[in-house]
Structure 1
């Protein structure tokens, strides 16, 4: 049973819209090859703070990443740090704020666009900075990293859904179409990743209001999906709402590594192996 993991964080994709539009992933759920959960995001429901939540398992009150304007390296131990410490190889195709959190801040648009350095927390990275950078290009960046460097942990972060949501609102045709496009990209890549032995988690940082906002406390801003494709997890739809702080320790569980001391102890519903790291 493989311990390799791919995480896809589709920025700004709220639960109900993903539930309705991600047809291929819902197909896998229906035929008992994937699990679906609802995740309640941490506050504030903003991108940079929630990247830190997803990757370190710590809240803003602990990690200090409280706004999108907090430009500095994280002071927490991330999934990139942990995989590197355990002798695993990691990679990321992501928005440049991820690089600023874990490799260097501020981001240098020339030197930091491509990063191939095993001494850094993110060992192999391709980063973008325009919000309209095509999701299709980002997925190819990620697949290049996967084929070239064979990472045990690959983090993928497309921005198109968030952009359309902020421009047109979550009830718009444009927002739904962008989620459908992401679904099509995943329908092309997920079968390849599964064949290559990866466990796959697909989630989001935050949701989106009908007026194109997020950052507040409403369910449309905080409720996001989590699809898990793994032989370690029983397939099906689960009613228990998962706290977003549990995401990082769940990834650690699937990678077969111990979480950091700052992460909460959490056992995802449907986990077949009941071992819990402390």
Structure 2
């Protein structure tokens, strides 16, 4: 049985846009190779608090990472810390706030952009600090990490969808086309990931509104997609919370953990 997971967090991707614009992923659903669940993000619907939520299972108002300006190391156990402490290999191609949460803070680009350190929670990292850093390059960074280090847990976190939302808004061609582009990039890799034994989770931290922002309780800000691909998912209708994604990853990785998770989403 495979115990490897790739978690893709498409920053700022609204559920309805994912449902309508991502033809490859929806094609996998039509061929019964993937399942899409609607997911409601925790509050506030902001990036750094929800990275922490997804990766630790702890809501922002409990974790203390309550806005994007809270720059400190996480004080919670994460998928990364649990995996590393149990002898697994961890990697991430992600925005620099992820490095600040789980490796070192503040982020120093010269030191941290290319991370190779077995003692850190994220042992192999490719971290960027520009919101416009091309998603295509980010997926190449991630694939390089996968092929060179064979991580048990790999986080892939591109930023361009969120960037386009902040520039043009939810109901813009720029935002929708950026989601289509991410779908196309994913189509280049998913079959290889499956062949390499990975269970794949594709989701978002939060959505987007027409004020060119997010952070509140509007449905378009809170409703995000959760695509699951792999033979260890049940692919049955069920409800799942954003706080359960960490536990789902831990279950798939075969880790000892205390995180909440949805057993109904798994076929273990």
Short-chain TM bin: over 0.9
Measure, in 1, the Cα distance between the counterparts of 2:234 and 2:71.
Answer: 39
Measure, in 2, the Cα distance between the counterparts of 1:58 and 1:272.
Answer: 24
Give the aligned partner of residue 143 of structure 1. 143
SS at structure 1 position matched to 2:111: coil
Give the aligned partner of residue 113 of structure 1. 113
SS at structure 2 position matched to 1:253: helix
Kept in 2, the 8 Å contact 1:60–1:66? The answer is yes
Give the aligned partner of residue 94 of structure 1. 94
The answer to whether 1:45 aligns with 2:40 is no
Aligned-pair distance for 1:242? 2.1
SS at structure 2 position matched to 1:154: strand
The answer to whether 1:219 aligns with 2:219 is yes
Instruction: Provide the TM-score with structure 2 as the length reference.
Output: 0.97
Measure, in 1, the Cα distance between the counterparts of 2:267 and 2:110.
Answer: 45
Measure, in 1, the Cα distance between the counterparts of 2:55 and 2:262.
Answer: 17
Comparing 25-34 and 178-187, the one that deviates more: 25-34
Give the aligned partner of residue 170 of structure 1. 170
- CA pair 57-270 structure 1, distance change in 2 beyond 3 A: closer
Measure, in 2, the Cα distance between the counterparts of 1:175 and 1:268.
Answer: 34
Give the aligned partner of residue 276 of structure 1. none
Give the aligned partner of residue 8 of structure 1. 8
Aligned-pair distance for 1:268? 4.3
The answer to whether 1:78 aligns with 2:78 is yes
Aligned-pair distance for 1:86? 1.5
Of 240, 251, 254, the residue aligned with 1:253 is 251
Q: How does 1:198-237 map to 2 (within 5 A)?
A: 198-235=198-235
Q: How does 1:122-133 map to 2 (within 5 A)?
A: 122-133=122-133
Deviation sequence 1:92-139 (CA, Å, 0-9, x none): 000000000011110111111111000001100010000000000000
The answer to whether 1:185 aligns with 2:185 is yes
Measure, in 2, the Cα distance between the counterparts of 1:234 and 1:61.
Answer: 31
The answer to whether 1:242 aligns with 2:237 is no
Measure, in 1, the Cα distance between the counterparts of 2:128 and 2:194.
Answer: 26
Kept in 1, the 8 Å contact 2:100–2:107? The answer is yes
Aligned-pair distance for 1:247? 0.8
Aligned-pair distance for 1:211? 2.3
Kept in 2, the 8 Å contact 1:35–1:234? The answer is no
Measure, in 2, the Cα distance between the counterparts of 1:103 and 1:144.
Answer: 20
Instruction: Provide the TM-score with structure 1 as the length reference.
Output: 0.94
Kept in 2, the 8 Å contact 1:12–1:207? The answer is yes
Aligned-pair distance for 1:235? 3.0
The answer to whether 1:32 aligns with 2:27 is no
Measure, in 1, the Cα distance between the counterparts of 2:263 and 2:37.
Answer: 10
Kept in 1, the 8 Å contact 2:240–2:265? The answer is no
Unaligned runs of 5+ in 2: none
Two-structure CA RMSD over aligned residues (Å): 1.1
Aligned residues: 268
SS at structure 2 position matched to 1:144: helix
Kept in 1, the 8 Å contact 2:234–2:267? The answer is yes
The answer to whether 1:267 aligns with 2:265 is no
Deviation sequence 1:4-39 (CA, Å, 0-9, x none): 100000000010000111111111111111111111
